[in-house]
Amino acid sequence: MDWIQLLSNAAQEFISPTTAAYALAALGLAVHFGFTGLLNFGQAGFMMLGAYGFAIATLTFGWPVWAAVLFGVVASIVFAFILGLPTLRLRADYLAIVTIAAAEIVRLLFTTNVFEPVTGSANGLQGYKGGFEDLNPIPEGTYGFGPFVYNEYDWWVRIVGWGVVVIAALITWQLFKSPWGRVIKGIREDEDAVRALGKNVYFYKMQSLILGGVYGSLAGMIFILPRSVVPANYQPTLTFFIYAILLLGGAATVFGPILGAMIFWVLLSFFSGFIARAVSEGFLPFMTTVQAGQLRFIFVGIAIMLIVIYRPQGILGNKKELAFVK
């Protein structure tokens, strides 16, 4: 078994655009769940709106990159309003039910044949990257060292993706050091007490839902830069992967989701390669290649379970920050 190749492939996930997209989506969930206490199970819906908004604005309307990004962001804001208006005055479990159902409705709408000329139905969309490629200042060629050797487009995607993650993390860090952030944390701990102090809890919750949703839509745009837009990628399991990343790094932290995304995808890549090679070399004769692909999720799940059991606040989290961790 080629251990160097296994480790090299796993190391590439540290800076992959997929890792960046999941880190940004998990940061959005940190705003929702970790800091505000909103139980959002529909982050995949926000990511889908960002991805499809960007692609449709480019392909159907012929808009430039900045306008396509703005279109996806506005779509996520409208989606947050639609979700929040009827639910944010109710208990957290109502929001959880509405968000997971709404995300599935959005996915099915993009999958239906009725809108196929615009959405591509189940086949999805492609061919929307031209404007983004034109903005690339990196000369044509291959650059890098060790396992991190990519062409100019791959580096451009990584620079933009991780640049957005860093900017979002810095904005979030500043926000939650401000008086606004302290009110949000107070709502998470005891919203009745915050309401008694004269604060409009509903208004603050809506702001938090919008902010985390915008992060989700930007994550969806980063997610599609190295691949096509396919509705099958936005199953409910996507949101649960993001929650796993959030809990792994630390729910009520800014940089925990970023670290969690890196660890999650490195582990997933390593176990995927390790199990596939073990099957091909006959070490697991009772298992097929398809079964081996599913086994990686079991190993990663066990690893995350151990962390949640023995360090429930996450790697960078603090028990004092979370009311649900005693």
Q: What is the pLDDT of residues 60-73, one digit of tens each?
A: 999 999 999 999 99
**Does the structure show a pLDDT above 90 at 245?**
yes
φ, ψ dihedrals at 151, nearest 5°: -80, 180
Average pLDDT over residues 13-29: 96
- Give the DSSP letter of residue 189: H
pLDDT in tens, 231-242: 999 998 899 899
pLDDT-derived band at 277, boundaries 50, 70, 90: confident
pLDDT-derived band at 258, boundaries 50, 70, 90: very high
Average pLDDT over residues 220-246: 93
- Measured CA to CA, the distance from residue 81 to residue 208 in angstroms comes to 11
**pLDDT the model gives residue 20:** 97
pLDDT in tens, 89-139: 877 778 889 999 999 999 999 999 999 999 999 899 999 999 999 999 999
> Which residue in this structure is represented by tokens 């599913």?
294
- List, in order of start, the domains of the chain with CATH numbers: 3-321 (1.10.3470)
**pLDDT the model gives residue 67:** 97
Q: Which two tokens stand for residue 227?
A: 């691949």
Q: Which two tokens stand for residue 18?
A: 């997929």
> Which residue in this structure is represented by tokens 């989700």?
216
φ, ψ dihedrals at 143, nearest 5°: -135, 160
- CB atoms inside a 10 Å sphere around CB 65: 19
Whole-number percent of the chain with pLDDT over 70:
97
pLDDT in tens, 287-310: 777 777 777 778 777 877 887 788
pLDDT-derived band at 322, boundaries 50, 70, 90: low
**Does the structure show a pLDDT above 80 at 219?**
yes
φ, ψ dihedrals at 149, nearest 5°: -115, 120
Pairing mode of beta strands 142-145, 148-151: antiparallel
**pLDDT the model gives residue 134:** 95
| 113 class by beta-carbon count within 10 Å (0-12 exposed, 13-18 middle, 19+ buried) | exposed
290-298 long-range Cβ contacts below 8 angstroms, 24+ apart: 295/271, 296/268, 296/271, 296/272, 297/268
Average pLDDT over residues 34-39: 92
Full-model pTM? 0.93
Average pLDDT, the chain: 90
pLDDT-derived band at 1, boundaries 50, 70, 90: low
- Measured CA to CA, the distance from residue 223 to residue 126 in angstroms comes to 13
Which residue blocks in 234-255 are alpha helix, DSSP H? 236-249
φ, ψ dihedrals at 150, nearest 5°: -140, 165
φ, ψ dihedrals at 322, nearest 5°: -120, 125
**pLDDT the model gives residue 321:** 65
**pLDDT the model gives residue 326:** 46
- Measured CA to CA, the distance from residue 315 to residue 277 in angstroms comes to 30
- CB atoms inside a 10 Å sphere around CB 236: 17
